[in-house]
Structure 1
Amino acid sequence: MALAIRDVTEHDLDAVLALNNAAGQSILALDAAQLRYFFERADYFRVAEIDGHLAGFLIALREGGDYHSPNYRWFSEHYPAFVYIDRIVIANAYRRHGLGRIFYCDVTSYAEVRVPLLACEVFLEPRDDVVVLFHGTYGFQEVGQQRMASQERQVSLLAKDLPSYAYVRDTWLEHGGLPDVPWLAERHRLLPTNQPRRHAGERHA
C-alpha cells in the first residue's frame, strides 16, 4: 500500500467535495463555493492518497482569517495564535486503520513551528465516544462548549498546547524565520489581492 500525504490540488476538489458530503452527520456539508474558499484560504489543506485513490483530507486555518465559523470565531476571541482544524474526513474504506492519527501527526508538525496551540471541536450531539477518546488520547483538553445555532448542536471546544513552539520561536522565528526547506514551506494557494501571504510566526489582529 503506497500512502502519500500532500497538499490538495484543484483536480482533487470534486473528489474532496463528494467525500465530505458522504461523511454523515459528524461532518457539516459543503457546497462548491465553500470548498473553493478553503482551497484559496486554508493554511493547511492536505489529502491522503492511497494507491492513487483519495482516502481522506484535513483542512486547518490559522488565526486572523475572515472565516465565519462560530467555532473558529470562538477560538479567535480567546487565543491570539492557533491552528484550527476545521474538518478531517476519512473515506469509509480506510477508516479504523490509523489514517486519522497520521493526519493529526502531520498537522501537528505544521502547527508546532508556527503557533503555540492546536484547536478543534467535536460534536456532543450526537456524541461519538470513539472521536472523543481519540482526541483525549492525542492530548486535547476541553476549553469550552457552545451550541451552534445553525445546527442546534452542542460542541466541545478542544485545544492542545504545542510545547515545541517556544523553542522554535526563540531559535528561529525571532531571528529571521524558519529554514528554507520543503517540509517547512507554506502551501501554494490563491489569495485575494488585498490579503498578503502570511509567514510562520506572524500574528494578525
Structure 2
Amino acid sequence: MSVRPLADSDFDWVLALSARHERETGKLDAEKLRAMRDASYQTTVIDGQGGYLITFDQDGAYDSPNFLWFKERYPQFAYVDRIVVDPNVRKAGHARALYEHLFERARRDGHSLVACEVNVDPPNPGSDAFHARMGFEEVGWALLGNAKTVRYLTRGL
C-alpha cells in the first residue's frame, strides 16, 4: 500500500469518508479540508481511497483546543488531528501505514514526540485499542465545550 500527500483530486472521497465518521472526528467540508491541508505538517492518504491522516506540528496555524492543549505543554511535537480509515479495509494495516509514514518523517525532521487525542465520551474503543498497540500513553484529559471528553496521548519517537 502506498502513502502519499493529499491531492485536490482526493477531496471528494476524503469528504465522503469523513462524513461517515463525523461523530468521531467532527465535521469537514472542502473549504476546511483545503485550509487544514495547507496549514498542516502533513496530510496524507492511502492510495485506493483507504484512508487519510491530517497532522500539525507545534508551528501549525491551527486553533483546535486539543492542538492548543499540546502546544501549551510541549515545545516540539507532531499532532494527529484526524485519521479515518474506510471500514471496508479496517484491520488491513492502513492506519498503521499512515502512522508509520508520519513517524518516519517526524523522526527525520527532528521531532521526538507524536501527540493525539481519543474520545472518551462518546467512546471510541477501536481507536483506544489501536493507539495502545501503537505505543501511545495517556498524558491528560479534557472536557471540551461541545460536551465531548477526550484523553490526550503521546508516543515518543
Distance 2:49 2:125 in 1: 26
1:184 aligned residue: none
Distance 2:125 2:44 in 1: 26
Larger radius of gyration: 1
1:81 aligned residue: 76
TM-score by length of 2: 0.93
Distance 2:120 2:63 in 1: 21
Task: Confirm or deny that 1:128 pairs with 2:124.
Answer: yes
**Which stretches in structure 2 are left out of the alignment for 5+ residues?**
none
Match of 1:23 among 21, 24, 28: 21
Distance 2:21 2:91 in 1: 14
- Normalized per residue, the structure richer in helix is 2
Distance 1:24 1:67 in 2: 19
Post-superposition shift, 1:24? 4.3
Distance 1:19 1:128 in 2: 17
**Which stretches in structure 1 are left out of the alignment for 5+ residues?**
163-205
Distance 2:97 2:30 in 1: 27
Distance 1:28 1:92 in 2: 17
Aligned length: 156
TM-score by length of 1: 0.73
Distance 2:85 2:77 in 1: 24
Show the 5 A alignment for 1:1-205. 3-49=1-47, 53-114=48-109, 115-149=111-145, 151-162=146-157
Distance 2:124 2:33 in 1: 25
Which string of whole-angstrom CA distances, capped at 9 and with x for unpartnered residues, describes residues 153-192 of structure 1?
A: 1000001111xxxxxxxxxxxxxxxxxxxxxxxxxxxxxx
Distance 2:37 2:23 in 1: 23
Post-superposition shift, 1:128? 2.5
Runs of 4 or more off by more than 6 Å in structure 1? Answer: none
